Amino acid sequence: MDVASGGQMLPRRHVLVANGRVTAVSASPIQAPSGALTVDGPGVLAQGFVDTHVHGRRGFDVMRPGEVEPLSLDLLSQGVTGFLPTIVAAPPNELAAALSAASGDPRGARVLGVHAEGPFLSPDQPGMFPPDAFHDYDRALWRDMQNAAASPICLMTVAAERLTRAQVENLRADGVTLSLGHTDASYEEALAAFDAGVTRGTHAYNAMRGFHHRDPGAVGALLDRGDIDAELILDGLHVACAPARILAATRTTGRIVLVSDSVPPAGCPPGDYPWAGRRLRVDSDSIRLPTGRLAGSALTLDAAVRRAARWLDASPAAALHMASEAPRASIGLDPGGLRAGVAADLVLLDPHLHPRMTLVAGVVRWRRMRPKHCANAPSGAD
Ligand SMILES: [Zn+2]
């Protein structure tokens, strides 16, 4: 079994897990003491994927009570071991109810905190959301959100033009990682936000002012600042191959964070479904508003990894890094790679990067029951 760690592939390793943690990663066989588990291949072992932007899937909506639990179980089959339930801008009472629902200690992937996608966003870049719930930064509203949240809000998407430098600094002092998104910020405004403490970009290219050679916009700022973590929805629809490759080329330190941005109707049969005050139409490969605008994705994180390997010409280890270690690092969690001492939140994948087994805290919580491909199926198909 090979081990993916730090964007590199370590061939033929033996991994030992005990008490919820990885206790050894060794090139030679290890005798497992009693109570320890040896994780073995064939395939590739990586730190479990972390989805920092997921609203729901298969009808489960993180903003409704009791639905984080079934979503957490569903995410295991993607190799996801941790996630940030992502809530969207809504009227204050609905926002408070959603923040109290988006939590728990579920039996599937771990809840690592909450991602608040708003409400301090630009009405000029609403994406699919109705902009009437967007606001300028409001400290009282922020305090109400914190008080309502059952899991800490550890990540917030903000529009640079909705906050002053001091307000960005105050949010950072509250321990929140800030991500630039749903923004019509100019290049200069975006750079000022990065200088003030915004360290991330939300779904790069989508719902932000695009690139023009005389008006580089927020996209230009992301391309110019390779030290900023950039979310990418690699479903083949939200971003075309060339801009995805251009973004990756600006990030020599691996600051591409694959996200699903999946919405509750993802994985449901074709039809119309209500969500976030809109009617979403699910067809064979996309989720759209009746106007045709994309409305969140149906992407799974493991499919994003496989597309990253193909589109970005990334090695398997580099593609896995974008879904496991880069998302962790982007929200301030240990980015040190798969080594002794880290939590045994792991995914074992086959050579085509389809998950075979997912462990959380050293316990196998999901296992693929049947081979995904028969022997003569085209390899790399997705
Ligand atoms: Zn979203």
CATH classification of the domain holding 280? 3.20.20.140
Statement to judge: residues 222 and 288 lie in one domain: yes
Statement to judge: residues 13 and 64 lie in one domain: no
- 84-127 pLDDT per residue, tens: 999 999 999 999 999 999 998 889 999 999 999 999 999 999 98
Statement to judge: residues 138 and 10 lie in one domain: no
Give CA angle at 102 (98, 105), nearest 5°: 155
How many angstroms separate the CA atoms of 192 and 195, rounded? Answer: 5
Statement to judge: residues 352 and 239 lie in one domain: no
Q: Please enumerate in sequence order all residues whose Cβ is within 8 A of that of 242, keeping only pairs 6 or more positions apart, or say none.
A: none
In a domain, 59, yes or no: yes
Statement to judge: residues 292 and 349 lie in one domain: no
Taking the centre of ligand 1 as the mean of its atom positions, its distance from the CA of residue 307, in whole angstroms, is: 20
Domain of 301, in residue numbers: 48-330
Taking the centre of ligand 1 as the mean of its atom positions, its distance from the CA of residue 232, in whole angstroms, is: 11
Taking the centre of ligand 1 as the mean of its atom positions, its distance from the CA of residue 268, in whole angstroms, is: 18
Taking the centre of ligand 1 as the mean of its atom positions, its distance from the CA of residue 171, in whole angstroms, is: 20
Statement to judge: residues 62 and 107 lie in one domain: yes
Which of residues 330, 353, 376 is at a domain's end? 330
Statement to judge: residues 24 and 82 lie in one domain: no
Statement to judge: residues 176 and 99 lie in one domain: yes
In a domain, 161, yes or no: yes
pLDDT at 371: 54
- Number of domains comprising the chain: 2
Taking the centre of ligand 1 as the mean of its atom positions, its distance from the CA of residue 88, in whole angstroms, is: 7
For the annotated catalytic residues, the residue numbers are 261
pTM assigned to the model: 0.95
Statement to judge: residues 56 and 166 lie in one domain: yes
In a domain, 335, yes or no: no
In a domain, 296, yes or no: yes
Instruction: Yes or no: say if 316 and 44 are a contact pair by the CB < 8 Å rule.
Output: yes
In a domain, 151, yes or no: yes
Taking the centre of ligand 1 as the mean of its atom positions, its distance from the CA of residue 38, in whole angstroms, is: 38
Q: Which of 195, 251, 242, 257 is nearest to 224 (CA)?
A: 251
Taking the centre of ligand 1 as the mean of its atom positions, its distance from the CA of residue 296, in whole angstroms, is: 6
Statement to judge: residues 125 and 233 lie in one domain: yes
In a domain, 92, yes or no: yes
Taking the centre of ligand 1 as the mean of its atom positions, its distance from the CA of residue 14, in whole angstroms, is: 38
Taking the centre of ligand 1 as the mean of its atom positions, its distance from the CA of residue 186, in whole angstroms, is: 22
Q: Please enumerate in sequence order all residues whose Cβ is within 8 A of that of 217, keeping only pairs 6 or more positions apart, or say none.
A: 185, 186, 187, 190, 208, 209, 210, 211
Statement to judge: residues 153 and 14 lie in one domain: no
Statement to judge: residues 221 and 303 lie in one domain: yes
Instruction: Yes or no: say if 165 and 192 are a contact pair by the CB < 8 Å rule.
Output: yes
In a domain, 374, yes or no: no
In a domain, 375, yes or no: no
Instruction: Yes or no: say if 35 and 69 are a contact pair by the CB < 8 Å rule.
Output: no
Taking the centre of ligand 1 as the mean of its atom positions, its distance from the CA of residue 311, in whole angstroms, is: 23
Residues of the chain with pLDDT under 70: 370-382
Taking the centre of ligand 1 as the mean of its atom positions, its distance from the CA of residue 203, in whole angstroms, is: 8
